[in-house]
With several copies, the nearest count.
Chain A
Amino acid sequence: MTDRDEHGEVAERHLRILEALLFASSEPLSANQLLTYLGEGVRVGDLLATLQQRYADRGVNLVQRGDKWAFRTAEDLGFLLRREEQETRPLSRAALETLSIIAYHQPSTRAEIEEVRGVATGKGTIDLLMEAGWIRMRGRRRTPGRPVTYGTTEAFLDHFGLESLSDLPGLDELKGSGLLSGRLPPDMQIPLPFDGALRDDEDPLEPDDLGTDEDQD
Chain B
Amino acid sequence: MTTAQTDWFDTPVQPAAEDVMYVDVDGYEGPLDLLLDLARRQKVDLAAISILALAEQYLAFIETVREKRIEVAADYLVMAAWLTYLKSRLMVPQAPSDDEPSGEMLAAMLQFRLKRLEAMRRAASQLMNRPRLGFQVYARGMPEPIEVNRSSLWEASLYDLLKAYAGQRERGISTDYSPIQRTVWSLQDARDILQRLIGDSFDWIPMDLYLAEYLASPSERATIRASSFASSLELVRQGQIDIRQTETFGPLFMRRRKGDQQ
A and B touch in the complex (CB under 8 A): yes
- Give the nearest-CB partner of B75 in chain A: A119
A70 touches B170 (CB 8 A): no
B140 touches A93 (CB 8 A): no
Annotate B57-92 by CB proximity to A: 1 below 8 A, 0 otherwise. Answer: 000000000000000000100010000000000000
Q: How far is the CA of A29 from the CA of B141 in the complex (A)?
A: 12
Contacts of B116 in A (CB 8 A): 116, 179
Contact of B141 among A23, A84, A159, A169 (CB under 8 A): A23
A23 touches B30 (CB 8 A): no
- Give the nearest-CB partner of B146 in chain A: A81
Annotate B112-134 by CB proximity to A: 1 below 8 A, 0 otherwise. Answer: 11011101111110111011111
B136 touches A82 (CB 8 A): yes
Contacts of B166 in A (CB 8 A): 174, 179-180
B249 in the interface (beta carbon within 8 A):
no
Stretch at the interface among A42-50, A136-144, A181-189, A208-216: A181-189
* A90 CB → nearest B CB, Å: 5
Contact of B130 among A20, A86, A169 (CB under 8 A): A169
Q: Which of B12-44 contact A (CB under 8 A)?
A: 29-33
Contact of A25 among B112, B140, B154, B162 (CB under 8 A): B140
Total chain B interface residues with beta-carbon distance under 8 A: 71
A34 in the interface (beta carbon within 8 A):
no
Contacts of B123 in A (CB 8 A): 100, 103-104, 168-170, 174
Contacts of B119 in A (CB 8 A): 170, 174, 177, 179
Highest count of chain B CB atoms <10 Å: which of A24, A79, A82, A85:
A24
B148 in the interface (beta carbon within 8 A):
yes
B168 touches A97 (CB 8 A): yes
Contact of A20 among B131, B138, B145, B172 (CB under 8 A): B138
- Give the nearest-CB partner of B157 in chain A: A160
Q: A73-B144, A93-B10, A116-B168 are in contact. Are A79 and B156 (CB under 8 A)?
A: no
Contacts of B132 in A (CB 8 A): 159-161
Q: How far is the CA of A89 from the CA of B156 in the complex (A)?
A: 9
Q: Which of A59-100 contact B (CB under 8 A)?
A: 70-73, 75, 78-91, 93-97, 99-100
* A60 CB → nearest B CB, Å: 9
Contact of A24 among B31, B121, B144 (CB under 8 A): B144
Q: A70-B142, A97-B120, A161-B130 are in contact. Are A81 and B161 (CB under 8 A)?
A: no
Q: How far is the CA of A81 from the CA of B139 in the complex (A)?
A: 12
B152 in the interface (beta carbon within 8 A):
yes
* A143 CB → nearest B CB, Å: 21
A87 touches B163 (CB 8 A): no
Q: A96-B128, A96-B160, A117-B30 are in contact. Are A159 and B133 (CB under 8 A)?
A: yes
A93 touches B141 (CB 8 A): no
Contacts of B141 in A (CB 8 A): 23-27
Q: Which of B149-193 contact A (CB under 8 A)?
A: 149-158, 160-174, 177
A-B contact pairs, 8 of them (CB 8 A): A24-B139, A27-B142, A82-B148, A97-B164, A118-B113, A159-B134, A168-B123, A179-B163
Which chain A residues have a beta carbon within 8 Å of chain B's beta carbons? Answer: 20, 23-27, 70-73, 75, 78-91, 93-97, 99-101, 103-104, 116-120, 128, 132, 134, 158-162, 168-170, 174, 177, 179-181, 183-185, 188, 190
